[in-house]
Amino acid sequence: MRKFILTLFILTPLFVPQVIAQTSPYTDYQYQLDQYRKNYAQFVLLKKDYLNNNTLDNEQKALLAVESTIKSRELTMFSFAQMLKLSIIETESA
């Protein structure tokens, strides 16, 4: 049981997505947007490959690409909301 908990503790950071990439909200948003663009481009290629060659392997690759694209889109929207929130707070306090 101890080995299982220790292994789980060590491997957990590998599976947790990186939510905050940089120190400022703007750079974090730019990073997340770049990740989304990269994942979306990969999804488009894999989708095209699947439509041209309907195999189970291509379908699984396309589904995994969809999942990572959606996750990166959600992180991008979260970063954008944080950036807007801090921008509004700074504008109101000035």
Count structural domains, the chain: 1
Whole domain around residue 41: which residue ranges?
20-93
Cα 31 from chain centre: 10
- Could you tell me if residue 4 is inside a domain? no
**What per-residue confidence (pLDDT) applies to 2?**
58
- Could you tell me if residue 14 is inside a domain? no
- Could you tell me if residue 85 is inside a domain? yes
Confidence of residue 93 (pLDDT cuts 50, 70, 90): confident
Provide CB contacts within 8 A for 49, sequence distance 6+. 58, 61, 62
- Could you tell me if residue 2 is inside a domain? no
**What per-residue confidence (pLDDT) applies to 5?**
53
- Could you tell me if residue 29 is inside a domain? yes
Can you tell me which residue has the tokens 């970063």?
79
Q: CA–CA separation, 16 vs 14, rounded Å?
A: 6
Q: Specify the length of the chain in residues.
A: 94
**Residue 62: burial class (beta carbons within 10 Å; 0-12, 13-18, 19+):** buried
pTM of the full predicted structure? 0.69
pLDDT digits (tens, 9 = 90+) for 26-78: 999 999 999 999 999 999 999 999 999 999 999 999 999 999 999 999 999 99
